[in-house]
Amino acid sequence: MGIVDTHGETSAEDPTSWDEIVDLVESMEVVAVKAKEMAEKAAEMVKEANDTTETAKREMTKALGVMRKVKWNV
């Protein structure tokens, strides 16, 4: 393997620099997988929260309807 003239910088063909790059890419892959999993969990939580909010709105609307029909003895 030849050395590339990099004007004083480490050569891209230096095997130690490739090992570092591979390690970095593998670390980034692990982080990306974890980020994807967290995003999927967050999306599920948002959907559940939206569903719960919609259920609460429906139940509150029903309760308000009942309260309007009741003759209050005040």
pLDDT tens readout for residues 57-74: 999 999 999 988 887 766
3-state secondary structure of 8: coil
pLDDT tens readout for residues 23-68: 999 999 999 999 999 999 999 999 999 999 999 999 999 999 998 8
Could you give phi then psi for residue 41, rounded to 5 degrees? -65, -40
Q: Residue written as tokens 């309260």?
A: 67
Model pTM? 0.57
